Chains A and B, each alone.
Chain A
Amino acid sequence: MSMPFGYASPEQIMRDRAEYARKGIARGRSVVVMQYADGILFVAPNPSKALHKISEIYDRIGFAAVGRYNEFESLRLAGIRYADINGYTYNRSDVTGRGLANLYAQQLGMIFTESIKSLEVEIVVAEVGEEPERDQIYRLTFDGSVFDEQGMAVIGGQAEAVSGRLKERYSEGLPLAQALDAALFALTEPGGERPAPGQLEVAVLDRNREHRKFLRLAGPRLQRLLDEIVAPPAEPAPAPAPETAPPIGPEGEIDTGSGE
């Protein structure tokens, strides 16, 4: 029996769909989600102030996504509905990141197998616990696979390269400024310039906050954090060679901030 015209094997269809989704996701910029001393940090280069890639789902749960905005926005809204209705039906502590990750996995998996086009999104569901050991970071891909990440996750763009750079700087229990520094280092291509504060979307799930742990860091608060990075007390500035240094300030000792 000859194959009918236009036949494509299921393997081929799945491969094509996956290829299509991967290309779409890789086009954007990466998003970094990582643990720091007091919780979980989200960093995304995002010039828009209104179209968020990072958002709050529930008291302890945050959401980050890359890919097509309309697609991950509908996932985000559905997640909020799921969380709010469960928290209202039972108790606020009964809403878990794991439950939400499973819900997303089902939906993503179903769309991947049943629709012509899979969702071109990759998302992270992160939940902050009472102690760092109970923090959870789940990464979900377009086909509904769930990855329980340890300490950090990178989605979208050149995820592998960014993830490699992040591993260089990452360690457990970094203070917030250092964690942000590591994330920005990872998000910047070697030799490239770091994104300006106005081009950054930064948020934390801070376990020390009351009620709702999610907090966006923007404006002066973000600027203060970035300033902490720019003036680190660690390395003393190298003494400039007198003959080549341009006149940049008054005579006298340069205050390196090291207190010497």
Chain B
Amino acid sequence: MNNLFMNTGSSSFTEFLGAHAPDLLPIRAQALAAPVGDQIPHATTIVAATCAGGVVMAGDRRATSGNIISQRDIEKVFRADDYSCMGIAGTASTGIELARLYRVELEHYEKMEGRSLSTEGKANRLATMIRGNLAMAMQGLVVVPLFAAYDPDRDGGRIFGYDVGGGPYEQRLYHSIGSGSIFARGSLKKLYRENATPEDTVLTCLQALYDAADDDSATGGPDVTRKIWPVVAVITADGFRRLSDEEIAEYVQGMLDARMTDPDGPTAPLR
């Protein structure tokens, strides 16, 4: 531990980890003998949408290994710091490890420097981490995050998307990732209202996840019998808040009641 005191390097925890204990990095250099794609649990759909004064992110709870549902209640939306969060799609294990490292990275910088990273800084930092995983992505361990943050400079929410090579790509208004993202995005496109309240935007995101689960086998819908609800996070000037199960149950129940009569969900006005 002595070199802790000698090392006066940068405020990046990842760089420090790379020098001090490289084996702890989620990114490994060696190549796998064969692609492992289908044998490792994959996390699926995440949606995010901006709302008045912030941003909402929601993720379903299913993880799949090929055609098997490997976990029904996996969590894929993580608090990164007080004003940001990330969702992961792709290889669950790498994604969870990445989210853990990313949280420490942001916090480490904040404590070392006495200030938080800018929103762009946070988004760029995540891009570097994703790019570091490119070799493993080529072997089938793909992980792609979705990053959402409240930006105090703009007093509003921002969303950043990524691909396996990094990014970031700033997204306007809403975005989705994962296997069900095509269906979720179609749904968001019709149901999204700019500057809606956080409550309405939560409902929009839950509708989008339902639509994704409706058409994508790897995305899980709300599990009423087991009481497993999507994870929903709202970030505003007050900070990160993960909605409690009771709150989400209420939203979901309302949505399901309406879908009993109209299975395809709400329709957008034609004109």
Contact = CB atoms under 8 A, between A and B. Distances in A.
B108 interface: yes
B104 A84 contact: yes
Interface in A102-124: 103, 107
B7 interface: yes
B57 to A, nearest CB: 17
Contact of A89 (B5, B21, B107): B21
A212 B24 CA distance: 23
B29 interface: no
Interface string B86-110: 0000000000000011001001100
A88 B104 CA distance: 7
Interface stretch (B12-20, B198-206, B227-235, B255-263): B12-20
A85 B100 CA distance: 12
Contacts of A56: 111
Nearest to A89: B24
B107 A84 contact: yes
Contacts of B108: 80-81, 84
A24 interface: no
Nearest to A59: B107
B101 A81 contact: no
Contact of A77 (B17, B24, B104, B112): B112
A185 interface: no
Q: Chain A contact residues (Cβ within 8 angstroms of B): what range? A: 20 to 34
A82 B7 CA distance: 12
A103 B108 CA distance: 19
B1 interface: yes
Contact of A82 (B4, B17, B100, B104): B4
Contacts of B269: none
Nearest to B20: A85
A88 B101 contact: yes
B16 A88 contact: no
A81 B114 contact: no
B225 interface: no
Nearest to A58: B111
Nearest to A106: B1
Given A52-B114, A56-B111, A57-B111, A81 B4 contact: yes
Interface string A181-193: 0000000000000
Most chain B CB within a 10 A radius of its CB, from A50, A52, A55, A84 = A84
Interface string B111-147: 1101000000000000000000000000000000000
B1 A103 contact: yes
B17 A55 contact: no
Contacts of B16: 81, 85
A85 B5 contact: no
A85 B13 CA distance: 8
A78 interface: yes
Contacts of A50: 114
A212 B108 CA distance: 13
B8 interface: yes
Most buried by B among A81, A87, A103, A211: A81
A103 B1 CA distance: 8
A88 B13 CA distance: 10
B5 A107 contact: yes
Contacts of B79: 211
Given A74-B5, A107-B5, A80 B111 contact: yes
Interface of B: 1-2, 4-5, 7-8, 13, 16-17, 20-21, 24, 79, 100-101, 104, 107-108, 111-112, 114
10 contacts: A50-B114, A74-B5, A78-B4, A80-B111, A81-B7, A84-B108, A88-B24, A89-B21, A103-B1, A211-B79
Given A82-B4, A88-B104, 5 more contacts: A77-B112, A80-B112, A81-B4, A85-B16, A89-B24
